[in-house]
């Protein structure tokens, strides 16, 4: 099938000049990619599926025993794991909702011409390009109860954002919003600038108010791109590890990925953590699938 739809090389292209055939190109570019994927992604995926049915521990030399579904049964009845999932869900909802609101809002503000628009846009995109570890460390300093600028600005005295079990998770979510709202902004900007200007003019002629125009014209036309941003951000937020791990040690910020990390590399419960990883994978797939279905329906409309 792949060969059937493959196009002939443009006779003037460099590859053709070197005497490479279509087949050579395929071999040079595609085969290494496939080999890489198999070795580093697909093989571990299947291998860990096998481990998830055993009591294997990477830290001991004891013989591995097959335990069937025991790991899954243990995990799904473990209340601590469920509390990790609840924390994760809270985190995903707060952080993704915040990113969508802030990102789309910024895009609406930027979607007009003003002086230094390019510079402002670039500056707003910077957080997204930073390393999560660096962002985490800096925000820990910003939140610092003794000399952090946030408490100073808001006059909160020595309020400890990250040590207070009630606020720690939200503090981490705010950091995540700061870092990833630009991503939503970027996609929204692409969507907004693709709305034809004459539609706004037509709406003005039809005497539509600005809110009516926004909900009836802007939003429907931008929604597919917003949906894509939502899919990406939900998937990523679900897997968040770095920021939360660096910023807080509170049990209320123990996301499912942190729990997984502890189980695998602190308790060396390898078999069980493989099972947990599979549960998380299935959940992320399920959520993504729901979104994609919705996206396709939105595109059909």
Kindly list the residues in this chain that would bind other proteins in the complex (CB under 8 A): 196, 198-199, 201-209, 212, 216-217, 220-221, 301
* Nearest distance, CB of residue 299 and other proteins, angstroms: 10
Alpha carbon distances (Å) from 267 to 51, 53, 56, 58: 16, 18, 12, 10
3-class secondary structure, 172: helix
Closest contact distance (angstroms) between CB of 212 and other proteins is: 7
- What backbone torsions phi and psi does residue 66 show, to the nearest 5 degrees? -75, 125
- CB–CB of 171/161 below 8 Å? yes
- The rounded distance, in Å, linking the Cα atoms of 206 and 105 is 26
SS3 content of the chain, % helix, strand, coil (to 5): 75, 0, 25
Closer by beta carbon to other proteins, 105 or else 224: 224
Give the shortest CB-107-to-other proteins separation in angstroms. 20
Residue pair 245/176 in contact (Cβ under 8 Å)? The answer is: no
Q: Are 195 and 222 in contact (CB under 8 A)?
A: yes
CB of 209 to other proteins, least distance (A): 6
CA distance 274 to 254: 18
Cα dihedral 87/252/259/268 (nearest 10): -160
Q: Which is nearer to other proteins, 87 or 203 (CB)?
A: 203
Shortest approach of other proteins to residue 114 CB, angstroms? 19
The smaller minimum CB distance to other proteins, of residues 142 and 195, is found at 195
Nearer to other proteins, 112 or 301 (CB): 301
Of residues 149 and 196, the one with the C-beta less far from other proteins: 196
Q: Are 170 and 280 in contact (CB under 8 A)?
A: no
Query: Is 219 or 283 the residue whose CB approaches other proteins more closely?
Result: 219
Q: How far is the CB of 195 from other proteins (least distance, A)?
A: 10
Q: What minimum distance in Å lies between the beta carbon of 110 and other proteins?
A: 23
**Best CA proximity match to 176, nearest among 117, 93, 65:** 93
Which residue, 188 or 218, is less far from other proteins as judged by CB? 218
Q: Give which of 124, 126, 166, 167 is closest to 143, Cα–Cα.
A: 167
């Amino acid at each position: 099938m792949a060969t059937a739809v493959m196009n002939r090389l443009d006779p003037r292209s460099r590859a053709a000049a070197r005497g490479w055939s279509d087949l050579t190109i395929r071999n040079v570019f595609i085969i290494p990619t496939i080999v890489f994927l198999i070795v580093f992604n697909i093989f571990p995926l299947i291998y860990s599926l096998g481990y998830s049915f055993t009591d294997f521990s990477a830290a001991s030399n004891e013989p591995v025993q097959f335990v069937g579904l025991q790991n899954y049964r243990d995990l799904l009845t473990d209340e601590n794991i469920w509390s990790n999932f609840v924390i994760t869900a809270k985190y995903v909802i707060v952080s993704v909702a915040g990113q969508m609101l802030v990102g789309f809002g910024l895009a609406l503000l930027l979607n007009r011409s003003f002086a230094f628009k390019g510079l402002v846009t670039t500056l707003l995109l910077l957080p997204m390009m930073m390393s999560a570890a660096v962002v985490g460390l800096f925000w820990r300093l910003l939140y610092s109860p003794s000399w952090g600028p946030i408490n100073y600005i808001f006059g909160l005295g020595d309020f400890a954002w990250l040590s207070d079990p009630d606020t720690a998770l939200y503090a981490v979510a705010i950091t995540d919003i700061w870092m990833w709202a630009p991503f939503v902004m970027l996609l929204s900007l692409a969507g907004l600038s693709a709305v034809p200007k004459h539609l706004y003019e037509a709406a003005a002629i039809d005497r539509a108010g600005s809110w009516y125009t926004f909900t009836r014209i802007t939003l429907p036309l931008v929604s597919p791109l917003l949906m894509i941003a939502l899919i990406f951000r939900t998937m990523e937020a679900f897997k968040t590890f770095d920021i939360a791990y660096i910023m807080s040690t509170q049990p209320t910020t123990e996301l499912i990925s942190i729990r997984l990390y502890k189980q695998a590399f602190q308790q060396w419960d390898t078999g069980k953590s493989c099972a947990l990883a599979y549960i998380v994978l299935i959940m992320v797939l399920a959520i993504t699938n729901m979104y994609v279905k919705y996206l396709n329906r939105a595109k059909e409309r």
